[in-house]
Amino acid sequence: MSSNQTREDGPAARLGQAIRAQRAGRFSIHELAKAAGVSVGVLSQIEQGRGNPSFKTLQKIAQALGIRIGDLVEAATDESPGPMVVRRHERMRLQFGSEGLVYELLTPNLRGRLEMLQTSIPPGFSNRDNPFQHDGEECVLVLEGNLYVSVGGQEHRLSTGDSVTYDPARPHWWENRDHIEAVVVGAVTPPTF
């Protein structure tokens, strides 16, 4: 959040407003919390623009609302159309709770047919017990460090400069077994975030 943004107009506040708008007339806060499997207190804090919801929490809320996470993320960004050039310092940065993953959007938005993200993966990260799974096609390139990627039970060790392309509809997980951060660029089509 830039120094001139207040909590009321920052991305967290816009995210909360987007969730409230999506549930308006459809769910009470209690009903949405129950459908998403999150506490009313957590949902209330998110809707008020406080806290840093985990990726998993946002995923549960989006699923309960019948929308993509990207719909919520898009709502949390400025409505004005962005430039096609995305400067490093202008990337939309998403950090989700306890998972420790930091996503930076390399494409101007999530409205196109392609999604590109740079992801920083902290040492010790693993989602082996909770694999990713979504539609489309995905390619991941390791920029720094090493990363273990498993797709459909087949595990691959990727080093700097290595890439893997796979069908993300198959359960897949990432694991950083090193003591340093791994940085990857991923391309997904169509956008699923």
Q: In DSSP terms, which residues pair with 188 in a beta bridge?
A: 115, 138
What class is the 11-75 domain? mainly alpha
Which residue spans of the chain are classified as CATH 2.60.120.10? 88-189
Any idea what the Cα angle at residue 192 is, between residues 7 and 139, rounded to 5°?
115
What are the CA-CA distances from residue 35 to residues 17, 23, 30, 50, 121 (Å)? 19, 11, 9, 21, 30
Q: What is the pLDDT of residue 79?
A: 54
Tell me, what's the pLDDT at 2? 39
- Determine contact, residues 116/186, Cβ cutoff 8 Å: yes
Query: Does the predicted model carry a pTM greater than 0.85?
Result: no
- As averages over each run of 10 residues, the pLDDT of the chain (193 residues) reads 45 82 90 92 88 77 86 64 74 72 85 89 93 90 98 96 96 96 95 77
Please tell me the CATH superfamily of domain 88-189, with its number. Jelly Rolls (2.60.120.10)
d(CA 95, CA 158): 23
pLDDT value for 182: 97
Start and end residues for every CATH 1.10.260.40 domain found in the chain: 11-75
- What local confidence, expressed as pLDDT, does residue 75 receive? 65
What's the confidence (pLDDT) of residue 49?
A: 84
- What does the pLDDT read at residue 121? 95
